[in-house]
Amino acid sequence: MPVPDFLPIVVNPSAPITINAQIAEQIKLLIAMGELQPGDALPTVTQLAKQVGVNHNTLAAVYNDLISSNYLIAQRGKGTFVANTQVVRNIITNKQFYNLLGQAFSAAATVGLSPSEFAGAAYAQAVMLNRYSSTSLKLVFVGCSHQSADIYEAIKSEIKIPLSFLRLSDLNPTKPNTLEEILTADLVITTAQHQWEVIQLTAPEQEVISINLKPDIQLLTQISSKPRNTKVLLISISETDSEDMKRILVQAGISHINFQTIELKSLEQSPQFVSQFELVCVSKVVEEYVLQYSLQLDKVLIFNFRLDESNMSVLKARIATIGLGKSIV
């Protein structure tokens, strides 16, 4: 792929962030918006330094930082390229973040803020929100299924602040300490199918946010590509968990597949049952057990899920707003 002669990067020496950060963030933006794609070559250090009007060493430091953080990759004798890494895939997936920043700047520009003033104000606001959201909020996740631990870890990884875990079955009068844990929470999080049950256990003034689960894109593609009426067996620890897997797949739009559900215990009693199905989809917690009963590893899929992006955007916004509200009180 030819090396581009020009990248639309502009620096402002008077801006409240360093030259290095300005260049690095603009390269990330070009990647997020698709102007630079995995495998694309970047100009040499000398070329881009000359174009942007900065010192050669400054540009070299930017490239090195982006390489060490897995945004770029250097190939000896060939040049520097956009890496095909999880970091790059994440920034592309979350490009709506930049769209939100664009909307915020458009609003700021209407009241006369310059790019430099906007950057400074945005940084100050981010520092304030992070300080209060990360130290003052008490967040609780309530789970029920055997997949709850995986869901909890996925949400915790997304919000990047402390999150307590409670099991729905533990929220009863015989365990007052657990009930107190949920009743003193600033925000309660659960899955969509358990939202009503959790609301019944919280105080009227408490806020409960639900998160929908979606099938992983790869899983969705693999199952969707199967012929109509293909028999697919869904297996988890309990029949309820297996039914949850079916519900999530059907809600994702898969209506042409003949899904059947079974709990692990029933499979252990009748292992030959697996042979009746063209495909088997299992939850992570039973993967190793199921593989004992199926010699065809290519017919076994793992039920990987992803969190609904819209739900997570709402959750993050509520965390920021509630955290800011507590800081003002």
Instruction: Say yes or no: do domains 136-212+308-328 and 215-305 share a fold.
Output: yes
> Strands, E, within the chain: which ranges?
72-75, 79-82, 139-143, 164-167, 187-191, 208-211, 213-215, 231-236, 258-263, 279-282, 300-302, 305-307
Alpha-carbon separation of residue 136 from 37, 40, 128, 329 (angstroms): 40, 43, 12, 12
Q: Express each pLDDT in 248-292 by its tens digit.
A: 999 999 999 999 999 989 888 888 888 889 999 999 888 878 777
pLDDT of residue 114: 84
Helix (H, G, I), strand (E, B) or coil at 72: strand
Q: In CATH, which superfamily holds the domain spanning 136-212+308-328?
A: Response regulator (3.40.50.2300)
- Residue 131 is predicted with a pLDDT of 60
User: Is the pTM of the predicted complex or chain greater than 0.75?
Assistant: no
Bridge partners of residue 234, in order along the sequence: 261, 281
CB count within 10 Å of CB 128 equals 14
What per-residue confidence (pLDDT) applies to 175?
A: 81
| Domain 215-305: top CATH class | alpha beta
- Per-residue pLDDT 10s for the chain (329 aa) are 555 567 889 888 887 788 999 999 999 999 988 899 999 999 999 999 999 899 999 999 999 999 989 999 998 888 999 999 888 888 888 777 778 888 888 888 898 888 878 877 777 777 766 665 445 789 999 988 777 888 999 999 888 888 999 988 888 878 888 888 899 999 999 998 889 999 999 999 999 999 999 998 889 999 999 999 999 999 998 898 999 999 999 999 999 999 999 998 988 888 888 888 999 999 988 887 877 765 566 788 999 888 998 899 889 888 888 877 776 55
Query: CB under 8 Å to 64, separation ≥6 — which residues?
Result: none
Spatial distance between the Cα atoms of 214 and 305, rounded to a whole number of angstroms: 6
Q: Domain boundaries in the chain?
A: 19-93, 96-134, 136-212+308-328, 215-305
pLDDT at 273: 85
Report how far residue 246's alpha carbon sits from residue 261's, in angstroms, rounded to the nearest whole number.
Answer: 8
Write down the pLDDT at residue 324.
Answer: 73
Predicted local confidence at residue 3, as pLDDT: 54
Residue 2's pLDDT is: 56
DSSP conformation letters of 255-315: -SSEEEEEEHHHHHH-GGGGGG-SEEEE-GGGHHHHTTT-S-GGGEEE--EEE-HHHHHHH
SS3 assignment, position 204: coil
Fold classification of 19-93 (topology level)? Arc Repressor Mutant, subunit A (1.10.10)
